[in-house]
Structure 1
Amino acid sequence: MQQEKKFDFNQTIGFILIAILFGVFYYLNKPSEEEIEKQKKELVQKQEQAKKQEQLNKTASQKLFEEVDTTQAKDVEVSNDKIKVKFSPKGAQISDVQIIGYDAYNVKKDGHKDPLHLIQEGSNTFNLSFKSKQGAVINVSDLIFVPQVQKNANNTIVTFTANAQNSQIQYIYTIGDSYGIDFEVKTQGLSNITSDSKVDLAWNMNGFSTEKGKDQEKYWSHTYFQFKGNKDIEYELFGADEWKEEDAISWVANKQQFFATVLSNEEGFKDTNGGSVNSDKQDLVHSKYYHLNSKLDLKNSEINTKFTWDFIPLDYKMLKSYNDKGFQNLIDFGWGILGWLNKLFFLNVFKWLASVGIAYGWVIFLMTIVVKLILSPIMYKQNRQSALMKVIRPELNEINEKYKDSKDAMKKQQETMAIYRNAGINPLAGCLPALLQIPIFYALFRFFPNLIDLRGVPFWFVDDLTAFDDLIKLPEWVPFLNGHLSIFALLYIVAMTIYFKVSGSMDNFQMPQQEGMPNMQFMKYMMYIMPLFFFVFLNNYASGLSWYYLVSNTINIFIVLYIKKYMINETKIHEIIKANKAKPKKQGKFASRMQDMMKQAQEMQEQQKGKKK
């Protein structure tokens, strides 16, 4: 007999005492108003000192470097058929990058479309800094450069130059016909300015929010990097990330959901730390704030380093042939078998079906049918197993009634296993098909939110298959639903519930309770609650996934009904079990060992009972 859980008064008192102790500790250690005021003043003083130091550094830079005629210091714009780039003379920065052929989502605009900028209005800062011989910090991003533009048949070369007394700093950008920009930093006579042997590198970027699903966008946006001489990439998923590495890193990517800004260094970044922080919920302009810090070694007291900037859409097929740096691995298709399923199966099936030229929503529909055809043998085995279990249920109920006492648990288990064995049923056989489907189920969670082909693609009442559908609006105060109801998610839950009914999934929870097994009544309740959890999740997820699961469950309903009506006949099942019972049973080694172990356990149990008497 299971004992009822009773109210534990002592445990409750313990929790109350712990709470009181925490409260007393907090009160005793709470800073006084004088201490809080002192901390505020110290913070203000530090901020003022930082501003003064920044101004001193700028003044020192202006004294060291030649003053530039403002008519010579102009913005430079360069474009090809993939990107449009603007360079600023201040700090020789890349000040604007637009990806041609893609739009950014803007909820406030009619049509919800804007040109897609990865960098705009000073959101990107690349800075090299070092100390002058007088002790001032020189930030190259504060200097004013003079640009010079050269064009040839294949490339446009933009050279920015800042001159000091007997020294020079140059930033050289080369733009061809790809998403990449070669970037070279060269100096002459730097030893006249500094005695440092290293230069600090700092890259800061505010990632613009370009997608409809803001929460999803933040979830998939992170910094990624690759160690030099290694094709694997490193990253930390879930929320903000922070990392520090001493080994050389060949490239660092500020990844957003469907785009990435990548900075590569030919020699490798050393003594590097980086990461990203989520923007505030109220900030609809940005999704992430990225940062990178590293050091560059001076060679013969000069900087002579080659970088590459890449502003890339995360298209797996395109990136595989883009270069040999492994940028295609920035797409979060999953690790292990999940990644292989998405890259080798789902992506190829999707591309093959899309080549017909039909709408992507119908491509997903056809892709679901292909998957269902492949899994149909597994579904047949599942339903056959369910039918067999249904037939022997009366016998199992009899055993359960016969051995109600917990002392007879071993006998009940032995006779239950004997019924399974005589009927030719393997109770674990129903688990294997379900296990085979789990990787497919979870692989699709990675596939749809990361497939750039679906980005911004409408289908029926959905305006973007990689974001939620929000035709039904709700007040913002409704918890968990983010102000909308997804129709596809709702219909999927309805289809899931119907499938549970017609497939007999609920019948499995009417089986007799076995010793040591989970409470079937509780599991039945969970089967009703589970759709609610799925709905809350899918309501804010990619509508393409909800559409896939809706189609999948609808097909499942018809497959199950067909199997039950035409392929599995209960009379035939009885005949199969009867024939199995008549056959002589060959007990395998494993079954024999299990039976011996159960007998030994039963004997030990009886011996212990005798000792107690």
Structure 2
Amino acid sequence: MDKKTLIGLVLIAATLIGFSLFNRQGADENASADNDKDSTKQEIVADSNATELPNSLIAQFDDNGDPIIDSVKGQLFLDTLTGEDTFLLIQPVLNDTTKQTIVENIDTNSVPEETYTLENEVLILEVTNRGGYIKNVFLKDYLSYEDYAAGNKNPLHLYDEISTYGLIYPEGANTVRTDQLAFAVVDQDDKSITLESNRNGKVVGFTYKMKPNKYDLDFDIYFEGFTDKEVASAQFTSDMYLLNNEKYYPNEKRQATLYWQYKDDDYDYIQNTESEDMEEVVDWVSFRSTFFTAIVSAKNGFGKKDSKVTLYAIEDQEQTTYVKQYGADLNLGTTKADNVVELNWYFGPADYDILVEYDNGTEDIVELGTGLFRWINKGAIRPLFMWLLDTGMGVGLAILILTIIVKLVLSPVNYKMYKSSAMMKVLKPEIEKITKKYPKKEDAMKKQQETMALYRETGVSPLAGCVPMLIQMPILFAIFRLFPSAIELRQTSFLWAEDLSTYDSPVTFGFSIPLYGDHMSIFTLLMAITTLLYTHYNSSNMQQPTQEGMPNMKFIMYFFPIMMIFFFNSYAAGLSYYYFISTLMTVLIMFAIKRFMIDDEKILAKIEENRANPKKSKGKSRFQQRLEDAQKLQQERAKNKKK
């Protein structure tokens, strides 16, 4: 490190330390000023009957002695202010960024909570009169992993009362939230319910209508007594916490995604902790875990103005109850008072076949990959897999037969690849002779030119084996996306795997090994072993690096299956099982090709014939010509440097 660099680092460090001390001094002064405030103000907070006080709550008074609540969001009981237990909603004053005032006396907690159950063949919903929203959702045909492992038959709990949704609308200079209003039932039967909240002559009504044997229900919102401006400014807001229902929480959290689709456009999504403002009218928004989702859609779309979606991380790192916190603030797009807004809720599985029936693009939330991989899954692999399942066979057997069919279809490609490999193997002694002929580093260019000439004379292309491999790779990646998201694998057992949608763990350690985990996946081990066998089978054809600095391909190929043991140990057992069967079949097919279809002596005779008759051998390919041109140019530059 030179003198100037050292001086620069010292100056930067001094600046940062000074800035830190300055900020700390300012914070200490602010804290001291807060401690000097009127003690009566602090007593109001201490005497309140708050069930949950925000950490930033500071009670203040204005010049007239009226109470002011500064820097607070949420709800609070303040019996010292009103003389009775009144539920108070604290909302910001939009024209004053330094203060927030008590703007609503909302009597929800003075009304006993009542829940109303709606039920059809697949759903159980519980609607609360406090906010008028659905506070609990149960799916009859599915189980949580915990209940599945314990043999219980409780319906899967999609989300609970911590999740809320409703409307936000203006009232004068204030803002009202319907999830804090008391609702009353005005109409109800076993499949539908209508609730209303009447505040100062302004009625907000929610109507829920279930459908036979469907996971979706109509959700209509109507307004009475509102001005056009108030209705046009109304927003749908939701704060959803989907419950963790799978075996492996890190995977559930990683796959939790918030999707939306713009009207007459493609879908978009966020998967990390972030917010996204809506750029166009939105058809629907989906809050998805690995295999289940809650989707809210609007018949006429949600307006783009002030609309946004947000994903929040669960703050407690040890929290495994909820997957993620999903937020959405969506403009209802209404422009006329006394209008009915037609929404729809879907609570159910992220099942491609179920969602595609709605014909609104929601099937795109099922993870099938993107681009070419998604096209392969939608057009070939998934339909074939579903057809096998429709015959009544088990999932494990269906994966086996799917693997056999895919490998047989690709067998011509495998034959081409192995034939190229066999020809390279025959030429290996000749290539070694060339390597010995030019051992010096400065002769690397001559060695490369003579090697390419050998390929041209014998009619062998070193790239002939790469093209077939490139053809197979999209299928491998497509299946990598398909099986972890296939709900058909969920809670389906096969051999020692109790659930093919998650990792198999017949061996558990009772402690965690870094980068590996606390269990041993047998399917992953089998996959890695067969990959090692395949690598060893092909290693004799691999050439050592002919130039310094080039990687040893044999080492890389052996290292890859070892890394797979760590990478796939916590992946879906169905995926590891497929790769195990696929690699095993590749080894068997290559053995059969070598044993019955490839004759090394005939290949050598063909190569010698091409060498003896250069006119019969193939001419230079474009790639070979470009490579030779590049080599000549490099040689000329090297000569010019020596001059």
Unaligned stretches of 5+ residues in structure 2: 35-53, 60-69, 77-87, 91-101
Q: Distance in 1 between matches of 2:244 and 2:133?
A: 21
Q: Distance in 2 between matches of 1:541 and 1:501?
A: 25
Letter in 2 for 1:181: L
Q: Distance in 2 between matches of 1:74 and 1:165?
A: 23
Query: Residues 233, 15 of structure 1: CA spacing in aligned structure 2 closer, same or farther, 3 A cutoff?
Result: farther
Query: Residues 50, 558 of structure 1: CA spacing in aligned structure 2 closer, same or farther, 3 A cutoff?
Result: same
**Alpha-carbon deviation of 1:565?**
2.1
Q: What's the TM-score, normalizing by structure 1?
A: 0.86
Q: Which residue of 2 aligns with 1:234?
A: 268
Q: Does 1:545 align with 2:575?
A: yes
Give the alignment of 1:389-408 within 5 angstroms: 389-408=424-443
Q: Which residue of 1 aligns with 2:362?
A: 327
Q: Which residue of 2 aligns with 1:473?
A: 508
Kept in 2, the 8 Å contact 1:105–1:112? The answer is no
Q: Which residue of 2 aligns with 1:531?
A: 561
Q: Distance in 2 between matches of 1:459 and 1:22?
A: 61
- 1:394-452 deviation per Cα after TM superposition (whole angstroms, max 9, x unaligned): 11111122223344333322211111112110111011011111101111111111111
- 1:335-388 deviation per Cα after TM superposition (whole angstroms, max 9, x unaligned): 111112112211122122223323211211111111111111122222211111
Q: Which residue of 2 aligns with 1:292?
A: 328
Q: Distance in 1 between matches of 2:384 and 2:404?
A: 11
Q: Distance in 2 between matches of 1:168 and 1:217?
A: 40
Query: Residues 109, 589 of structure 1: CA spacing in aligned structure 2 closer, same or farther, 3 A cutoff?
Result: closer
Q: Which residue of 2 aligns with 1:375?
A: 410
**Alpha-carbon deviation of 1:126?**
1.1
- 1:217-272 deviation per Cα after TM superposition (whole angstroms, max 9, x unaligned): 22222111111233x211134x3342111421111111111111111122322221
Query: Residues 591, 126 of structure 1: CA spacing in aligned structure 2 closer, same or farther, 3 A cutoff?
Result: closer
Kept in 2, the 8 Å contact 1:90–1:144? The answer is yes
Query: Residues 426, 45 of structure 1: CA spacing in aligned structure 2 closer, same or farther, 3 A cutoff?
Result: closer
Kept in 1, the 8 Å contact 2:231–2:335? The answer is no
Q: Which residue of 2 aligns with 1:184?
A: 220
Q: Distance in 2 between matches of 1:540 and 1:593?
A: 42
Query: Residues 223, 45 of structure 1: CA spacing in aligned structure 2 closer, same or farther, 3 A cutoff?
Result: closer
Q: Distance in 2 between matches of 1:467 and 1:329?
A: 22
Q: Does 1:126 align with 2:158?
A: no
**Alpha-carbon deviation of 1:104?**
1.1
Q: How many residues matched?
A: 586
Give the alignment of 1:130-209 within 5 angstroms: 130-133=169-172, 135-151=173-189, 156-177=191-212, 178-191=214-227, 198-209=233-244
Query: Residues 40, 426 of structure 1: CA spacing in aligned structure 2 closer, same or farther, 3 A cutoff?
Result: farther
- 1:475-510 deviation per Cα after TM superposition (whole angstroms, max 9, x unaligned): 4442122311111101111111111112x2x22433
SS in 1 for 2:445: helix
Query: Residues 431, 24 of structure 1: CA spacing in aligned structure 2 closer, same or farther, 3 A cutoff?
Result: farther
Match of 1:519 among 516, 531, 550: 550
Letter in 1 for 2:531: M
Query: Residues 610, 532 of structure 1: CA spacing in aligned structure 2 closer, same or farther, 3 A cutoff?
Result: closer
Q: Does 1:424 align with 2:424?
A: no
Kept in 2, the 8 Å contact 1:338–1:440? The answer is yes
Give the alignment of 1:346-357 within 5 angstroms: 346-357=381-392
Q: Which residue of 2 aligns with 1:6?
A: none
Match of 1:87 among 118, 124, 127: 127
Letter in 1 for 2:354: M
Kept in 2, the 8 Å contact 1:264–1:308? The answer is yes
SS in 1 for 2:400: helix
Q: Distance in 1 between matches of 2:4 and 2:412?
A: 56
Query: Residues 276, 426 of structure 1: CA spacing in aligned structure 2 closer, same or farther, 3 A cutoff?
Result: same
Query: Residues 23, 484 of structure 1: CA spacing in aligned structure 2 closer, same or farther, 3 A cutoff?
Result: farther
Kept in 2, the 8 Å contact 1:68–1:146? The answer is no
Q: Distance in 2 between matches of 1:38 and 1:462?
A: 62
Q: Distance in 2 between matches of 1:327 and 1:345?
A: 20
User: Is 31-40 or 302-311 further displaced after alignment?
Assistant: 31-40
Query: Residues 594, 381 of structure 1: CA spacing in aligned structure 2 closer, same or farther, 3 A cutoff?
Result: closer
Letter in 2 for 1:491: L
Letter in 2 for 1:105: Y
Unaligned stretches of 5+ residues in structure 1: 1-9
Kept in 2, the 8 Å contact 1:251–1:263? The answer is yes
User: Quick one: percent identity of the two aligned structures?
Assistant: 29
Query: Residues 281, 349 of structure 1: CA spacing in aligned structure 2 closer, same or farther, 3 A cutoff?
Result: farther
**Alpha-carbon deviation of 1:562?**
2.1
Kept in 2, the 8 Å contact 1:396–1:512? The answer is no
Q: Does 1:104 align with 2:130?
A: no
Letter in 2 for 1:147: V
Kept in 2, the 8 Å contact 1:61–1:143? The answer is no
Q: Distance in 2 between matches of 1:126 and 1:592?
A: 63
- 1:195-236 deviation per Cα after TM superposition (whole angstroms, max 9, x unaligned): 685123321100111111222222222111111233x21113
Match of 1:509 among 542, 557, 561: 542
Q: Distance in 2 between matches of 1:146 and 1:593?
A: 77
Query: Residues 14, 536 of structure 1: CA spacing in aligned structure 2 closer, same or farther, 3 A cutoff?
Result: farther
Query: Residues 281, 456 of structure 1: CA spacing in aligned structure 2 closer, same or farther, 3 A cutoff?
Result: farther
Q: Does 1:388 align with 2:423?
A: yes
User: Is 300-309 or 450-459 further displaced after alignment?
Assistant: 300-309
Letter in 1 for 2:284: W
Q: Which is helix-richer, 1 or 2?
A: 1
Q: Distance in 2 between matches of 1:401 and 1:117?
A: 70
Query: Residues 38, 199 of structure 1: CA spacing in aligned structure 2 closer, same or farther, 3 A cutoff?
Result: farther
Q: Distance in 1 between matches of 2:456 and 2:339?
A: 78
Q: Which residue of 2 aligns with 1:579?
A: 609
Q: Distance in 1 between matches of 2:597 and 2:529?
A: 26
SS in 1 for 2:302: strand
User: Is 565-574 or 383-392 further displaced after alignment?
Assistant: 565-574
- 1:90-128 deviation per Cα after TM superposition (whole angstroms, max 9, x unaligned): 1101111111211111289724774212222x1321122
Q: Distance in 1 between matches of 2:252 and 2:620?
A: 51
RMSD: 3.3
Match of 1:450 among 485, 490, 507: 485
Query: Residues 476, 303 of structure 1: CA spacing in aligned structure 2 closer, same or farther, 3 A cutoff?
Result: farther
Letter in 1 for 2:439: K
Q: Which residue of 2 aligns with 1:244?
A: 277
Kept in 1, the 8 Å contact 2:369–2:478? The answer is yes
Query: Residues 57, 334 of structure 1: CA spacing in aligned structure 2 closer, same or farther, 3 A cutoff?
Result: same
Query: Residues 196, 444 of structure 1: CA spacing in aligned structure 2 closer, same or farther, 3 A cutoff?
Result: closer
- 1:20-62 deviation per Cα after TM superposition (whole angstroms, max 9, x unaligned): 7776555444356555566789894457635587444378544
Q: What's the TM-score, normalizing by structure 2?
A: 0.83
